Amino acid sequence: MDRRNAWNQYDDAALLKVEEAAAGYKKYLDAGKTERECAAEAVRMAEAAGYKSLAEAIQSGAAVKPGDKLYQVQMGKAVMLFHMGKAKLTEGMNIVGAHIDSPRIDVKQNPFYEDGDFAYADTHYYGGIKKYQWVARALALHGTVAKKDGTVVNIVIGEDESDPVVGVTDLLIHLAQEQMGKKASEFITGEGLDITLAGRPLKGEEKEPVKAALLKILKDKYDLEEEDMLSAEIEAVPAGKARDFGLDRSMILGYGHDDRVCAYAEIAAMLQLPAIPEYTCCCLLADKEEIGSVGATGMRAMYFENAVAELLALTTGKESDLSLRRALANSRMLSCDVSAGFDPLYASAFEKKNSAFLGRGVCYNKFTGSRGKSGSNDANAEYLGRLRKIMDDHDISWQTAELGKVDVGGGGTIAYICALYGMEVIDSGVAVLSMHAPEEVISKADLYEAIRAYAAFLTDMKQA
């Protein structure tokens, strides 16, 4: 059951739409290299399309009616968009959900030290990474510092062409015999991912003069003290913009395709819905998926059901736990997360006929998890059958896949968490090469088909 290559279906008009989608997505990637930045960009796009703050509606007690478009932000790191439909909320919603955090290197709370006439920052990597991929490359610093007086300072260093960049140095090959004999997982350790920040001493300073020079830069440019790092969230990410990949420009190389390609496709789909859809449509952009969906902004938290409870109160004038349970249990969801793209250079890790191929459209994973489907949401066949019909009715290029060979590895998404409500959920996403590397690769065709697929799902998926 080979699936068609989407590129073969496009006429000139469709090719223009593919490039338009790619251009918009690259701007989104460049604007959002952290979960905070992605959330802010999503809100900017939503407000430009007429979305209003749910928090303000709650405060005013204004009634919510079909056609209203509302957004809610959780601690600046997670976003929910709601486009109210004709049907009652208790009949369920059509939900597309992705995550906007990506693997990276976080700066520790007490980070700065000097050694060998260099100033460094101690770090703690975030998510599953091959640590050796993060050395000897240009990194940018993005983040937020909350000072004791309540002032919040946002930092972006290394993205403008005139900015300096930072990075983690590597051992020269001439002295690396012992290092090269180690396993790849061992020759760069977690504590070895310290970032070089400065190398010039502050004149007149005798104790740690290079660190002193670094602190002076932070004070002069950002009015920050060393102790302000105790309440800072600074992330080191690959510097530079997303770019076309391949001589045919059919792909995109960039940081954070996992899972911002699905997040962007969701937003783009939400912004093209009819004025009043049949069912309320929801776009979930969650944080912390890469470390288990934990914390107050991860999908395990209660903010999603809290927002739905508020919507029920504003639409019905009543508060009912039973109504909330019905609204969630009757919902239909696409857990939109990327899948491993088949790479011929590493074919032994894949079972080819059950793999996702770049260029063959949006991908559906009936289950994820690892080995014996551990940690998986295994979607029911009836739901997949209804989804197949929608995809084919809209002539959308789509494929199914698993995440590599059965006993090779695996991974998880937010699907199993949302399935706890009793709703129908299946994983859906875009195939990626070099997943979790500092720069990943996707096909422009798959991005375009994902937008089309999510829009079709939001408008056409109905109760069983």
Predicted confidence at residue 412, as pLDDT, reads: 81
Alpha carbons 19 and 447: distance in angstroms, whole number? 10
**CATH number given to 6-102+255-460:** 3.40.630.10
Longest dimension (CA), the chain: 75
CATH fold for domain 104-238:
Aminopeptidase i, Domain 2 (2.30.250)
- Residues pairing with 361 in the sheet: none
The full set of domain ranges for the chain reads 6-102+255-460, 104-238
Pairing mode of beta strands 232-238, 139-146:
antiparallel
**How many CA within 13 A on the CB side of residue 194?**
16
Q: What angle (nearest 5°) sits at the alpha carbon of residue 332, between those of residues 327 and 334?
A: 135
Query: 75: left (phi > 0), else alpha (psi -120 to 50), else beta?
Result: left
Residues in contact with 217: Cβ distance below 8 Å, sequence separation at least 6, in sequence order: 198
Cα–Cα separations (whole angstroms), residue 228 to 43, 121, 177, 219, 455: 28, 14, 41, 11, 44
CB 442 within 8 A of CB 358: yes
Alpha carbons 438 and 131: distance in angstroms, whole number? 10
CB 405 within 8 A of CB 350: yes
Q: Does 104-238 match 6-102+255-460 at the fold level? A: no
Question: How many Cβ atoms are within 10 Å of 74's Cβ, its own excluded?
Answer: 21
pTM of the model: 0.96
CB 125 within 8 A of CB 193: yes
Alpha carbons 103 and 128: distance in angstroms, whole number? 6
Question: Quick one: angle between helices 444-460 and 381-393, nearest 10?
Answer: 110
Query: 373: left (phi > 0), else alpha (psi -120 to 50), else beta?
Result: left
Predicted confidence at residue 8, as pLDDT, reads: 97
From first to last of the 464 residues of the chain, give the pLDDT tens digit: 778 999 999 999 999 999 999 999 999 999 999 999 999 999 999 999 999 999 999 999 889 999 999 999 999 999 999 999 999 999 999 999 999 999 999 999 999 999 999 999 999 999 999 999 999 999 999 999 999 999 999 999 999 999 999 999 999 999 999 999 999 889 899 999 999 999 999 998 889 999 999 999 999 999 999 999 999 999 999 999 999 999 999 999 999 999 999 999 999 999 999 999 999 999 999 999 999 999 999 999 999 999 999 999 999 888 889 999 999 999 999 999 999 999 999 999 999 999 999 999 999 998 887 778 877 888 899 999 999 999 999 999 999 998 888 888 778 898 999 999 999 999 999 999 999 999 999 999 999 999 999 999 999 999 87
Three-state SS letters, the chain? CCCCCHHHHCCHHHHHHHHHHHHHHHHHHHHCCCHHHHHHHHHHHHHHCCCEEHHHHHHHCCCCCCCCEEEEEECCCEEEEEECCCCCHHHCCEEEEEECCCCEEEEEEEEEEEECCEEEEEEEEECCCCHHHHECCCEEEEEEEECCCCCEEEEEECCCCCCCCEEECCCCHHHCHHHHCCCCCCCCCHHHCCEEEECCCCCCCCCCHHHHHHHHHHHHHHCCCHHHHHHEEEEEEECCCCEEECCCCCEEEECCHHHHHHHHHHHHHHCCCCCCCCCCEEEEEEECHHHCCCCCCECCCCHHHHHHHHHHHHHHCCCCHHHHHHHHHCCEEEEECCEEECCHHHHHHCCHHHCECCCCCEEEECCCEECCCECCCCCCHHHHHHHHHHHHHCCCCEEECCCCCCCCCEECCCHHHHHHHCCEEEEEECEEECCCCCCEEEEHHHHHHHHHHHHHHHHHCCCC
Alpha carbons 258 and 427: distance in angstroms, whole number? 14
Return the CA Rg of the chain.
23
Predicted confidence at residue 366, as pLDDT, reads: 86
What's the N-to-C CA distance of the chain in angstroms?
27
Predicted confidence at residue 156, as pLDDT, reads: 97
Of 311, 152, 296, 324, the C-alpha closest to 224 is 152
